[in-house]
Chain A
C-alpha cells in the first residue's frame, strides 16, 4: 500500500482528493479493448480449456465430465513422458549454453576489437530467420548423406559418424544445436548492451587495484548486470516452453517419438487423434509448468520492489 499512497501524495498538491478510479480516465478508456481481449481471449480461453480437460470431448467439445481420467491417461502415456524429459533436457542445456556462450561472445566483442559491427551482424543474423527455416537448414546440415558427415567422410575420414537427427538417444542435442545457433546472437546483443552500460570508471578502478580481468567480470560486472540477465532469462525461458516449430521442421518428433515435445503432443492429440479432452489436459499441464516457474520468480522480482 505504500506505493499508491506516496504517488497520490505527490499529486495531491494540484488535485484535491482524486478518486483513484477516475484518474487518467482517457487512458483507461483507451485500454478497455486490450483489457477485454486479455480477459476474454486469454483468461476466458484458459478457463475454457481447463474446464474441457475434465471432459471426454473427442472431435468436438462436449460437456460430459469424466473427472481426472484424461490426466491419468496422460501421465501413463510413454510419449508424454518422453516429451517432458526432452523439454527438461533441452530447457536446462539451452539455458546454460545460450547464457554462457552469449556472455562470452559479448565479453570478447567488448574488447574494442576491429570490425565489431560486422561480427555483431553475423552473430545476430540467424535470429532474423524463422524457426522453420532454421530447422530445415540444420536438417540438411545434419543429414548424414549430404551434411557434415558426408563432408568429413569425403575428406578421407571414412569412419566418421555424426547423424544426431537419426539417432534416438541424441536427437534432442541435434535440435539444441540449431536452437543455439539461432538464439545465441540475440543473447549476445542483450549482454553487450549490458556491458556497455557499465561505467568505464569501474574498469579503471579495478585496474588501479590490480584485479585481474576475469575477476572483475565475475565479481563486479556480472552482479551489476542483474537486470539484463533477468530480461534475457525471461526471453530464453519463454522460447523453451513454446518450442514446437523447430522440432516439426527438423525431425517432426522423430525418429519415432524420440524428439517429441509437449506442444507437439498437444497438437497431435487435439487434431490428429481427434481427442480434444486429452489435448486440453496436456496443455493444462503445460500451463501448470509455466506457472510453477513463473509465479515464484515474479513474486521475488516484483514483490521485492514494494518492500524496498
Chain B
C-alpha cells in the first residue's frame, strides 16, 4: 500500500513535466549543411530535445540561394514549418508584412531580449513596426581573409599582414602552381567579396554611402574606381580556382593548394573540423588587415504563424532555448561565429574568434548588406559581379558603370 503510493507519486512526478511540456515535433528548416555547420546545428537539436520536444531537422542543401525559395514557397503555400532560418535583415520582410510570421514581442519582453542581445542592431533587424519577429542566434561577419601558412612557407614568402602584401605575394604563389586567392563559382561569393573590399579598403564611410545611402554619384566615383581596381587584382589572383561551393574553396586553403580566401567567419568552422590551429596552420586577417570593421549580419530563426497550439507552445520553448547562454556557446564554437549575447563566457574561443570579439567590444561594427539592400538589388549586384569575375575581358570601368546604375535604382 505504502510502496504503491510512493510509486504513484513517483510516476506522477515523472509524468507531470512531460505532460506539461507535451513532446511536440517541430520541424526546423535551414541551410547549414557543410561539416562545421551540421555539427553546430546538432547542438541546437540536442538542447531542444532536452526540453522534451523533438527537433525535426529540415536541412536543405545548396546554400541560402537554393534554400530560401523552398522555405518561402512552403510558408506562402500554406505548409509552414515550425521554424526556419533566414539571415536577419530584409529576406523575410514581406512575409512579416503579410502577417505570415509569428509575433514574439511578449516573450521578448518577458525574457528581456532587448537587454541581452548585443549589438542591438541585431534585434532591430528582427523588429517590424515595433514588434519582434525573429530570434537572432549568431553574428557573422564577412570581412575575413583566411591564409594558408603552409602555402606561404612553401614558396618562401612571409605570411602577409594585409591585403596589399597579399597582392604583392601573389606572383610567387602563382609561379609555384598555387592559386593565390580561392573563389568559388557561386555568385553570392564574389558579390560579398566586393562588399568586403569596399569596407576594408575604402572604409566604413564609403560603405555607408554606397550600400546604406545608395549614392549613385559615389558608386560611379573615383573611390569606388579604386575598389574595382582591387577587384581586378582579385580576379587575376583567383584564376584557376575552378570550384563551386565556398567550402571547396576553403578546402583549397586548408590543404595549401591556395594562398587564401576571403570568406565570412563560418569558414573557421571548416578549419576547426579539419583539425587546423589558428595562428599555426592558418592565419586570419579581419578587415583584410586594413580597416578592422566587421559587419554584424548573421542568422536568425523565424517562426511562421501556426494554428496548432501544441506547436505554437513548442515554438516558444525553442525560442528561449536558442538564446540560452549554454546553447549559444556550444553552437557558436562549432559554427565559428560569435554569440549574440555579450554576457556569455567564450573560454574555448581561439585566436581568430578573440580577434573578432575584440573588434565587437570596441564597437567597430556596422550593418550587413543583407540588412541594407533588398534581395532584388542583391541579385542584380550578384549578376554583375559574377559576370565581372568570370570574364577577364570585362574592364573595371565598364563594370563600375553598371555598378553605379544598379545602385541608382537600388532599394
- Spell out A's residues near B (CB within 8 Å): 58-60, 77-79, 82, 143-145, 166, 168, 252, 254-258, 268-269, 271-275, 278
Contacts and interface: CB of A to CB of B under 8 A. Distances in A.
B95 A59 contact: yes
B391 interface: yes
B98 interface: yes
A83 B19 CA distance: 58
Contact of B76 (A60, A256, A273): A60
A138 B374 CA distance: 36
Given A79-B383, A274-B375, A275-B379, 4 more contacts: A60-B98, A78-B402, A143-B242, A274-B376
B387 A272 contact: no
A252 B390 CA distance: 13
A256 B376 contact: no
Given A252-B244, A271-B69, A273-B376, A58 B390 contact: no
Nearest to A79: B383
A78 B94 contact: no
B391 A272 contact: no
A271 to B, nearest CB: 3
B221 interface: no
A77 B379 CA distance: 12
Contacts of B69: 271-272
Given A78-B383, A269-B379, A272-B69, A255 B94 contact: no
Interface centre among A79, A258, A268, A274 (most CB of B within 10 A): A274
B384 to A, nearest CB: 8
Contacts of A59: 72, 76, 93-95
Given A60-B98, A254-B185, A257-B390, A145 B375 contact: no
A257 B386 contact: yes
A38 to B, nearest CB: 23
B389 interface: yes
User: Most chain-A Cβ atoms within 10 A of its Cβ — which of B69, B186, B378, B402?
Assistant: B69
B33 interface: no
Nearest to A57: B94
Contacts of B186: 252
A255 to B, nearest CB: 4
Given A255-B185, A271-B72, A168 B376 contact: no
Contacts of A145: 242
A188 B50 CA distance: 62
Interface residues of B, number: 31
Given A60-B76, A79-B383, A258-B391, A272 B375 contact: yes
Contact of A274 (B94, B98, B187, B386): B94
| Interface of chain A: mostly helix, strand, loop or mixed | loop
Nearest to B95: A59
B279 interface: no
B65 interface: yes
B390 A168 contact: yes
A282 B231 CA distance: 31
B385 to A, nearest CB: 8
26 contacts: A58-B94, A58-B374, A59-B72, A59-B93, A60-B98, A77-B383, A78-B402, A79-B383, A143-B242, A254-B386, A254-B390, A255-B185, A255-B391, A256-B389, A268-B379, A269-B376, A269-B379, A271-B68, A271-B73, A272-B379, A273-B378, A273-B379, A274-B375, A274-B376, A275-B376, A278-B376
Contacts of A273: 375-376, 378-380
A273 B61 CA distance: 19
Contacts of A269: 376, 379
Interface string B237-265: 00000101000000000000000000000
Contact of A256 (B72, B375, B388): B388
A45 B72 CA distance: 20
A225 B390 CA distance: 45
Contact of A168 (B380, B383, B391): B391
Which 6 pairs, one residue from A and one from B, show the smallest C-beta to C-beta distance?
Answer: A256-B390, A271-B69, A273-B379, A255-B390, A59-B94, A256-B387
Given A58-B376, A273-B378, A257 B387 contact: yes
Contacts of A79: 383, 387
Contacts of A78: 383-384, 387, 402
A252 B185 contact: yes
Most chain B beta-carbon neighbours within 10 Å: one of A144, A168, A271: A271
Contact of B390 (A60, A258, A274): A258
Contacts of B91: 274
Given A58-B94, A145-B242, A256 B386 contact: yes
